[in-house]
Amino acid sequence: MTRGACLAVATLASTAFAWGQTVADDIVRATRARVEAENDVAFQDGQFPTVIQGLRVSCELEPSDGDAWSNLVWMLGNVEDHGGAWAIAARFHRLNSTNPDSSYLLAEWLFRRRAFGQVPALLEPAVAATPPPHPNSFRYLAHAYDRLGFFEDSVRVWELLIKLNPDDAPAKANRDRVRAKLSPGQ
């Protein structure tokens, strides 16, 4: 989608609010579908700058859509724009600060760069929230504590996840693996 087309859609969508929320929602939905279809083709063709631009449009159209923002962070990382990826993850967190999932993109970015010590400050408030965040927030937090050597905290977070998802076999296996580190002589 060209820059001019993006501006036209943004103008049309903002004008549509005067017509009614349903019309605006329809325009946003149709635009997102078109952008996603174009992104699929561009991605297959290796036109990553085009995909990134399309994802930016999707993020602006629906600022609370974590999938669009996550895809944009991933694509920016893919093209080695780590500063851009960090900025996008931080912006998503800032725009959606009341959503317990908003810190996930930042925490994942930090974890993948082995900045384990910064992950707990982002995810501890999220895992304490009601409703709870996506299970991966618990996983990243527990793994970060494990990497930092805070095994009790890691077990505590695994237990929180297991309480929410009692059939989560990988969570149970990870909890047991970390527990074994607490009593290495047995």
Exposure on the CB side of residue 47, measured as CA atoms within 13 A: 12
What's the pLDDT score for residue 185? Answer: 63
Mean pLDDT of 158-173: 97
**Nearest C-alpha neighbor of 165 from the set 125, 143, 138, 141:** 138
As its CATH architecture, domain 1-96 has Alpha Horseshoe (1.25)
Rounded-to-integer distance, Cα 104 and Cα 100, Å: 8
Rounded-to-integer distance, Cα 181 and Cα 9, Å: 55
Q: Cβ-count burial of 71 within 10 angstroms (0-12 exposed, 13-18 middle, 19+ buried)?
A: buried
Rounded-to-integer distance, Cα 73 and Cα 104, Å: 12
Q: How many residues does the chain have?
A: 186
Rounded-to-integer distance, Cα 21 and Cα 42, Å: 31
Tell me: pLDDT of 27 over 90: no
Q: What crossing angle do the helices spanning 66-78 and 48-61 adopt, rounded to 10°?
A: 160
Rounded-to-integer distance, Cα 67 and Cα 58, Å: 10
The full set of domain ranges for the chain reads 1-96, 102-186
Q: What pLDDT, in 10s, does the model give residues 84-129?
A: 999 999 999 999 988 988 999 999 999 999 999 999 999 999 999 9
Amino acid at 94: R
Rounded-to-integer distance, Cα 33 and Cα 1, Å: 12
Mean pLDDT across the chain, nearest whole number?
A: 86
Select, from the ranges 31-45, 51-65, 116-130, the one with the highest average predicted confidence (pLDDT): 116-130
Which CATH number fits the domain 102-186, given the four candidates 3.30.70.1560, 3.30.365.10, 1.25.40.10, 3.40.710.10?
1.25.40.10
| C-alpha to C-alpha distances, 39 to 68, 96, 143, nearest whole angstrom | 12, 25, 33
What's the pLDDT score for residue 29? Answer: 74
